[in-house]
Chain A
Amino acid sequence: MLFNTAEFFVFLAIVLAVFYASPRAFRRVILLIASYVFYLSWNYKFVVLLLGLTVVDYGAAIAIERAPASRKKPFLLISLAANLGMLGFFKYYNFFADNLAQLLRFPPHSWTFSIILPLGISFHTFQSISYVVDVYRGEQQAIRNPVDYALFISFFPQLVAGPIVRAREFFADLYAWKHPSQEEVLRGVLLVTLGLTKKIAFADQFALLSDSYFQHLSDHPGGFAAWSGVFAFSMQIFFDFSGYTDMAIGMALLLGFHFPVNFRRPYLAFSITDFWHRWHISLSRWLRDYLYIPLGGNRYGRLMTYRNLMLTMLLGGLWHGASWNFVIWGGYHGALLSIERMIGRREFEKKPPLWLYPFRALITFGLVYIGWIFFRAATFADSRYVITQLFHGGKQYQAFVPRWMMYMTGASLLIAIVEEKFEWTERLSRGSAWAYAAFMILLLLTIELIGVTEKALPFVYFQF
């Protein structure tokens, strides 16, 4: 049940109706049932896995809290082993087995299995780990009510692709639940509509182009096609993921939950450091708090800082998928972050003067753009081919991205710049009803006239 299908909206309408029609005491159970129904609609077999991890982490957290300080660690290790073990097996077993087989000169796929990746495993395991670690650190109380904890892990708006919500944020909303205000309802509806527009009118249109390029590289020779193909993917991944996140945040808001912001106009970033403060913020935050800082962060000198940055980003890359391309993508960003640190951290965290901003933003986008090649290309050889085409592909002209899509990209860039300055979408839900309605009508017309509605294309991050 994809967010961009009619079935999902029927499901959401039913959940909202039942949720608000029920006595308050039953609402958590209703959300939990809805979340499991949502998950069951993908693949019923993996519900057992989700349930199993929920039970392990629920029990581990209580055990950690009850145990004396010296005996907490084994319970933490059990939880980590369960989560990382499941993640490792389902997501990385074939990758490592295949690489090992090749290293030992066995035929390819000698030791691989046919494994289906359980939906959202990367997200819910990270969320579980953060909870158990927080309990271990004493920053979070263990949750006693199994329904509450199960809901935290399986809450359907963010189960599949985040944002990765911290336990204290989620339970603060759950335990002090308030009926969403008028503004929150309007903002929730706006975010769901905006997200859907980003997904089906922008991301899916660009997906048609980038898929056509990356899936048939030899059909599109030349530098122009390469620049256009990578550009199309750069747009697709942003609109796809930020569209999904907007929908998730909007739906949560309609149910009275407040999710953290996950994207803040990342293509307006003026440095790679700034980019990671704007892109998939909940993952960056998780990596910082549960990987980079435990590794030592920047506390042990420059070299260790670079090492920690590289390690964090390499693992962050690998988190996205079991492929060397993702490792390279992570390493590439790790290297860029380290270089920025080397030059001077402040320089890349401080907003540049207005005259310099466009150049810095353009350079940052260029660097991010190159990184997307590794993210999207199927193999390392494909990535190398695309890079070669970018710079040595010749002037062979192939009109790849239609002009109207470039106009739409330009329009969204303008909207982003205005949003960066005035945060007007935030204000819309507080301001005039007519302005809100006009913007919503524009979004709905965009979905109707531009959206890819013939078939529902899955979200890119659902595969992670």
Chain B
Amino acid sequence: MRALFTLISTVIGFWAVEFALFHTGAYSLILRHDSSTGSVETYIRNELKRNRSTAPQVLTIGDSRMGFLPRYANDLQTGTQFASIALGGSTPRDWYYMLRGVDPKANRYSAVVIAMNDFEDAEILEDYSVRATDLYYLIGRLKYSDIPYFAKSYQHDPKLEWAAVRGIVLKGLIYKRDFQDFLLHPVGRIQMSQAARKESYLWYYNYVGTNSSMEGVVVDWTNRTVTVPPGFTETQKAAYEFQFLAPSPPYTGVRSAYLHQWLGKIYEHYRASKTRLIFLYLPRGPFVRPDQPAFNPHSSIRELSLQPGVMLLPERLFESIEQPGLFVDQFHMNGPGCAQFSRILAKEISHRLDAL
């Protein structure tokens, strides 16, 4: 009996310590603020402690291509207050858990604006349904009760499915890289984490982007060539060639199924609320490929748009931004591009909300 008691005490003790460290948010005191997990936690914490006015609140979300800078939008004083938790490298799966984190009761926002690359569920090279890094982005958000749904979302890769179960139960396995990094410079890390907790809202809010642009880059669609002016590297040129000239992946329905699942999950979260879900079609890039994805009436977004409380912004709302001078690379808007994009979006959203 003594051995059994000791071993049970050990298991309970280990679980208690693990829970206290990683399931209560205690570890976030030393979490690196710009790591995958740290970024999600920092964005959510900043959004939760942001000063909210009495004006209607609008939250935007997306990945790194979502160049919305709330500062420009709020400077317009449209009568709506804007915020953003758009995060580089995040995916619709992450967006659901991030939205759940900032708005658990689905009652904080008049609208949530979701940035999409297209409305057609066009395929991309990566299959997001088996994206291992999502576990790292979301580990601070996931609870034991998320195990069945979250792990099952990796069902196409049993190893990842198991890793997700294991990771949520033993979160330290996922925080491990961060912890080992912490051990390298513990004092510096603690100072940086404290600074990030206090000031990172302003770091992000005051960010204005870079002025570099793709001015001078020319894509010749007929001859299928890209020319770059002096100052651009061969690596950049190769990246442009790949992005603009490589054939697009054929439609398989994989991305559509993924988007149906996760955008559907976001919709479910807000279905019974007064929050509007607004989808926007991001500027397609500095150069618009002639082979744009075909119209898909059954795409996840178009099907969602038939639901009450869901809106689609006009697809070509940001066409004026689709020029090399407003992009820093083949994907991302530069500072002036972001400013212009933010203002257009703010006006459009305010207008739409006013019209309701």
Contact = CB atoms under 8 A, between A and B. Distances in A.
A16 to B, nearest CB: 13
A186 B175 contact: no
B13 interface: yes
A433 B175 CA distance: 29
A182 to B, nearest CB: 4
Interface size class of B (residues with CB under 8 A): 20 to 34
Interface string A420-438: 0000000000000110111
A417 interface: no
Contact of B7 (A189, A445, A449): A189
Contacts of B7: 185-186, 189
B184 A404 contact: yes
Interface residues of A, number: 23
Contact of A433 (B6, B17, B170, B172): B6
Q: Which of B3, B13, B170, B172 gathers the greatest number of chain A CB atoms within 10 Å?
A: B3
Interface string B1-33: 111011101100110011000000000000000
A182 B172 contact: no
Interface in B167-219: 170, 172-173, 175-176, 179-180, 183-184
Contact of B3 (A186, A440, A441): A186
A440 B14 contact: yes
Contacts of B17: 441, 445
A440 B176 contact: no
A437 B18 contact: no
Given A407-B183, A449-B172, A437 B3 contact: no
Interface string A183-203: 101100100000000000000
A449 B10 contact: no
A384 B14 CA distance: 47
A140 B176 CA distance: 51
A138 B257 CA distance: 74
B3 A448 contact: no
B175 to A, nearest CB: 7
A344 interface: no
Contacts of B3: 182-183, 185-186
A182 B2 contact: yes
B184 A402 contact: yes
Contacts of A451: 176
Contacts of B5: 433
B184 A445 contact: no
Nearest to B162: A6
Nearest to A189: B7
A404 B14 contact: no
A105 interface: no
B28 to A, nearest CB: 16
A444 interface: yes
Nearest to A402: B184
A438 B179 contact: no
A434 B7 CA distance: 10
A186 B4 CA distance: 9
Contacts of A444: 10, 14
B179 A449 contact: yes
A400 to B, nearest CB: 13
A31 to B, nearest CB: 21
Interface string A391-431: 00000000000111001000000000000000000000000
Nearest to A444: B14
A189 B11 CA distance: 12
Contact of A448 (B1, B173, B183): B173
A322 to B, nearest CB: 36
A436 B180 contact: no
Contacts of A449: 172, 175-176, 179-180
Contact of A403 (B170, B176, B184): B184
Contact of B172 (A186, A403, A436, A445): A445
Given A404-B184, A445-B172, A433 B14 contact: no
A186 B10 CA distance: 11
B142 to A, nearest CB: 16
A407 B184 CA distance: 10
Interface string B236-254: 0000000000000000000
Contacts of A1: none
A433 to B, nearest CB: 4
A450 interface: yes
A453 B6 contact: no
A406 to B, nearest CB: 10
Contact of B6 (A403, A436, A450): A436
Contact of B180 (A182, A441, A450): A450
Contacts of B18: 445, 448
B14 A445 contact: yes
A54 B96 CA distance: 61
A84 to B, nearest CB: 43
A441 B13 contact: yes
Contact of B170 (A186, A437, A438, A448): A448
A273 to B, nearest CB: 37
A182 B2 CA distance: 7
B14 A453 contact: no
A449 B7 CA distance: 21
Contact of B176 (A404, A407, A436, A450): A450
B257 to A, nearest CB: 28
Given A445-B172, A448-B18, A449-B176, A437 B184 contact: no
25 contacts: A182-B2, A185-B7, A186-B6, A189-B7, A402-B180, A402-B183, A402-B184, A403-B184, A404-B180, A404-B183, A407-B183, A433-B2, A433-B6, A436-B6, A436-B10, A438-B13, A440-B14, A445-B14, A445-B18, A448-B176, A449-B172, A449-B175, A449-B176, A450-B176, A453-B176
Nearest first, the 9 A-B pairs at minimum CB distance are A404-B183, A448-B172, A433-B6, A182-B3, A185-B3, A437-B10, A440-B10, A437-B9, A182-B2
Interface of B: 1-3, 5-7, 9-10, 13-14, 17-18, 170, 172-173, 175-176, 179-180, 183-184
Given A402-B184, A450-B180, 16 more contacts: A182-B3, A433-B2, A433-B5, A436-B10, A437-B10, A438-B13, A441-B14, A441-B17, A444-B14, A448-B172, A448-B176, A449-B175, A449-B176, A449-B179, A453-B173, A453-B176
